[in-house]
Protein backbone atom coordinates (compact mmCIF):
# COMPACT_ATOMS: atom_id res chain seq x y z
CA UNK A 1 0.00 0.00 0.00
CA UNK A 2 1.41 3.36 -1.03
CA UNK A 3 0.62 6.31 1.21
CA UNK A 4 0.19 9.75 -0.23
CA UNK A 5 2.02 12.59 1.51
CA UNK A 6 1.14 16.22 1.26
CA UNK A 7 2.92 19.25 2.59
CA UNK A 8 0.91 21.64 4.68
CA UNK A 9 1.64 25.14 5.89
CA UNK A 10 3.24 25.23 9.35
CA UNK A 11 2.25 28.79 10.20
CA UNK A 12 -0.86 30.74 9.33
CA UNK A 13 1.32 33.39 7.70
CA UNK A 14 3.61 31.16 5.62
CA UNK A 15 3.76 32.21 1.98
CA UNK A 16 1.11 30.23 0.05
CA UNK A 17 2.42 28.15 -2.83
CA UNK A 18 5.79 27.48 -1.27
CA UNK A 19 5.14 23.73 -1.21
CA UNK A 20 4.55 23.80 -4.98
CA UNK A 21 8.07 25.09 -5.58
CA UNK A 22 7.34 28.80 -5.80
CA UNK A 23 10.11 31.10 -4.76
CA UNK A 24 9.78 32.19 -1.17
CA UNK A 25 9.73 35.77 0.00
CA UNK A 26 11.91 36.68 2.92
CA UNK A 27 9.97 37.14 6.15
CA UNK A 28 10.38 40.53 7.81
CA UNK A 29 9.47 41.17 11.43
CA UNK A 30 6.58 43.60 11.60
CA UNK A 31 5.33 42.78 8.10
CA UNK A 32 1.55 43.49 8.24
CA UNK A 33 0.94 40.55 5.87
CA UNK A 34 2.37 38.25 8.53
CA UNK A 35 1.34 39.49 11.97
CA UNK A 36 2.65 37.94 15.16
CA UNK A 37 0.58 34.92 16.18
CA UNK A 38 -2.14 35.85 18.68
CA UNK A 39 -0.74 33.48 21.30
CA UNK A 40 2.54 31.74 21.98
CA UNK A 41 2.19 27.97 22.26
CA UNK A 42 4.16 26.13 24.95
CA UNK A 43 6.44 24.57 22.33
CA UNK A 44 7.28 27.98 20.89
CA UNK A 45 8.00 29.34 24.37
CA UNK A 46 10.33 26.38 24.99
CA UNK A 47 12.14 27.04 21.72
CA UNK A 48 12.58 30.73 22.56
CA UNK A 49 13.82 29.94 26.07
CA UNK A 50 16.36 27.46 24.69
CA UNK A 51 17.63 30.06 22.21
CA UNK A 52 18.02 32.61 25.01
CA UNK A 53 19.81 30.06 27.21
CA UNK A 54 22.21 29.30 24.36
CA UNK A 55 23.00 33.02 24.11
CA UNK A 56 23.36 33.21 27.91
CA UNK A 57 25.76 30.23 27.89
CA UNK A 58 27.80 31.70 25.03
CA UNK A 59 26.93 28.88 22.61
CA UNK A 60 24.96 31.27 20.38
CA UNK A 61 25.99 34.82 19.44
CA UNK A 62 23.76 37.25 21.34
CA UNK A 63 23.27 39.22 18.12
CA UNK A 64 21.16 36.33 16.79
CA UNK A 65 18.49 36.94 19.43
CA UNK A 66 18.68 40.74 19.52
CA UNK A 67 15.41 41.22 17.62
CA UNK A 68 13.62 38.86 20.03
CA UNK A 69 14.53 40.62 23.28
CA UNK A 70 14.17 44.01 24.96
CA UNK A 71 17.33 46.16 25.17
CA UNK A 72 17.70 45.38 28.90
CA UNK A 73 17.63 41.63 28.23
CA UNK A 74 20.08 42.01 25.34
CA UNK A 75 22.48 43.95 27.58
CA UNK A 76 22.46 41.02 30.01
CA UNK A 77 23.35 38.59 27.21
CA UNK A 78 26.31 40.59 25.86
CA UNK A 79 29.70 41.53 27.24
CA UNK A 80 32.63 39.45 28.45
CA UNK A 81 31.65 35.97 29.53
CA UNK A 82 33.21 33.32 31.68
CA UNK A 83 32.77 29.80 30.38
CA UNK A 84 29.41 28.53 31.58
CA UNK A 85 28.00 25.04 31.71
CA UNK A 86 25.25 24.15 29.29
CA UNK A 87 21.81 24.93 30.72
CA UNK A 88 18.96 22.65 29.60
CA UNK A 89 15.26 23.24 30.16
CA UNK A 90 13.51 20.36 31.90
CA UNK A 91 9.96 21.56 32.53
CA UNK A 92 8.20 24.68 31.28
CA UNK A 93 4.99 26.23 32.57
CA UNK A 94 3.23 29.20 30.98
CA UNK A 95 0.39 31.52 31.91
CA UNK A 96 -1.33 34.47 30.26
CA UNK A 97 -1.85 37.26 32.81
CA UNK A 98 -3.01 39.68 30.08
CA UNK A 99 -4.17 39.20 26.48
CA UNK A 100 -0.83 40.12 24.92
CA UNK A 101 1.48 38.80 27.64
CA UNK A 102 2.85 35.31 28.24
CA UNK A 103 4.86 34.52 31.35
CA UNK A 104 6.93 31.38 31.64
CA UNK A 105 8.80 29.61 34.36
CA UNK A 106 11.05 26.63 33.84
CA UNK A 107 13.26 24.23 35.71
CA UNK A 108 16.71 24.31 34.16
CA UNK A 109 19.59 21.92 34.81
CA UNK A 110 23.32 22.53 34.50
CA UNK A 111 26.15 20.45 35.95
CA UNK A 112 23.69 18.24 37.81
CA UNK A 113 22.04 21.15 39.63
CA UNK A 114 18.57 22.60 39.13
CA UNK A 115 17.79 26.28 38.74
CA UNK A 116 14.67 28.34 38.13
CA UNK A 117 14.13 30.40 35.00
CA UNK A 118 11.53 33.15 34.68
CA UNK A 119 10.64 35.01 31.50
CA UNK A 120 7.99 37.41 30.26
CA UNK A 121 7.02 37.78 26.60
CA UNK A 122 4.97 40.70 25.27
CA UNK A 123 3.31 40.83 21.87
CA UNK A 124 4.42 43.86 19.86
CA UNK A 125 3.54 44.87 16.28
CA UNK A 126 6.87 43.31 15.23
CA UNK A 127 6.16 40.00 17.02
CA UNK A 128 6.67 38.45 20.44
CA UNK A 129 9.52 39.97 22.44
CA UNK A 130 11.14 38.81 25.68
CA UNK A 131 10.89 41.68 28.16
CA UNK A 132 12.28 39.82 31.20
CA UNK A 133 14.68 36.88 31.40
CA UNK A 134 16.12 35.76 34.71
CA UNK A 135 18.00 32.60 35.57
CA UNK A 136 17.63 32.35 39.34
CA UNK A 137 20.60 30.71 41.00
CA UNK A 138 21.07 30.22 44.72
CA UNK A 139 23.29 32.77 46.42
CA UNK A 140 26.59 31.53 47.79
CA UNK A 141 26.89 32.21 51.54
CA UNK A 142 29.43 34.89 52.41
CA UNK A 143 30.89 32.69 55.15
CA UNK A 144 30.61 28.93 55.23
CA UNK A 145 28.51 27.64 58.07
CA UNK A 146 30.54 26.13 60.89
CA UNK A 147 29.20 23.76 63.46
CA UNK A 148 30.00 24.63 67.05
CA UNK A 149 32.01 21.91 68.73
For strands 127-136 and 113-124, give the pairing.
antiparallel
Indicate the domain borders of the chain: 36-78+87-136
Q: Is the pTM of this model over 0.75?
A: no
Q: Which helix (H) or strand (E) holds 89?
A: strand 88-98
pLDDT tens for each residue of the chain, 149 residues long: 555 655 555 555 444 444 444 433 344 445 555 555 567 788 899 999 999 999 998 888 999 999 999 999 999 888 777 777 888 899 999 999 998 999 999 999 988 889 999 999 999 988 899 999 998 877 665 666 555 55
Instruction: Return the pLDDT at 84.
Output: 79
Instruction: Return the pLDDT at 27.
Output: 42
CATH class of 36-78+87-136: alpha beta
**How many C-alpha atoms does 135 have within 13 Å on its Cβ side?**
22
Residues 110 and 93: beta-carbon distance below 8 Å: no
Instruction: Return the pLDDT at 25.
Output: 39
Q: How far apart are CA 9 and CA 12, in angstroms?
A: 7
Amino acid sequence: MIEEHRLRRLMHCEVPGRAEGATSREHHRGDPRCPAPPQLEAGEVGHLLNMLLEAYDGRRPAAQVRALVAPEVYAGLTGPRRPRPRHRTQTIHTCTPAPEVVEACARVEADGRSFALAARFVRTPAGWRCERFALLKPQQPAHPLRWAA
